[in-house]
Amino acid sequence: MKRIYSVLVENRSGVLAKVAGLFWRRCFNIDSLTVGETEDSAISNMVIVSSGEERTLEQVEKQLNKKLDIIKVRTFNENQGLCRELLMVKLRYKRDNRKDIMENCQILGAKIAELGHSQMIIEMCDTPERINMFLDTLKSVSILECARTGTLAMLKISESENK
């Protein structure tokens, strides 16, 4: 089971190390971790994706809520959140497979960010599942470098908030 933790923290040095240390000391797994400032530069938002048993994931939330630098913790599963990830992949192409790569990009919503004589850099922002699907289509190509941001997530807008 996966759980997403959207954690508002004070934006100062050492906070990331404290949160990561909490996971490390308790042997909790971090599948993905992204951190960035919010609209207020004094506050950062950490999005942590963790997997494990229900009891373990509940324990993670309790431990996060005990930290002094943490302002607010929201937890939700993948179905309750809007999840996105950024992928950048550099690959080598040949004349005979360039068209197929470009078609796959168009079908899956990826964009060619840079095109050279025999290499290209492709970027894609989508769900982690679609990112994985796109990478599967590139298995027959020579991937030189691949970078992923990790999951960014927000709790979806509920129907009651729309009224």
Average the pLDDT over 43-54 and give the result.
92
* Letter string b/e over residues 95-125, b meaning 16 or more CB atoms within 10 A of that residue's CB: eeeeeebbebbeeeebeeeeeeeeebbbebe
pLDDT of residue 37: 94
Q: Three-class SS string for 39-63?
A: CCCCEEEEEEEEECCHHHHHHHHHH
d(CA 125, CA 62): 32
For residue 137, pLDDT over 90 is answered with yes
Q: H helices within 32-158, ranges in order?
A: 54-66, 98-108, 128-137
pLDDT of residue 159: 57
Q: What does the pLDDT look like over 57-78, one tens digit per residue?
A: 888 889 899 888 999 999 998 8
Tokens of 129: 């599942």
In the chain, what are the domains? 2-77 (3.30.70.260), 84-150 (3.30.70.1150)
Q: What does the pLDDT look like over 82-119, one tens digit per residue?
A: 999 999 999 999 989 999 999 999 999 999 999 999 99
For residue 80, pLDDT over 80 is answered with yes
Q: What does the pLDDT look like over 11-37, one tens digit per residue?
A: 999 999 999 988 888 888 899 999 999
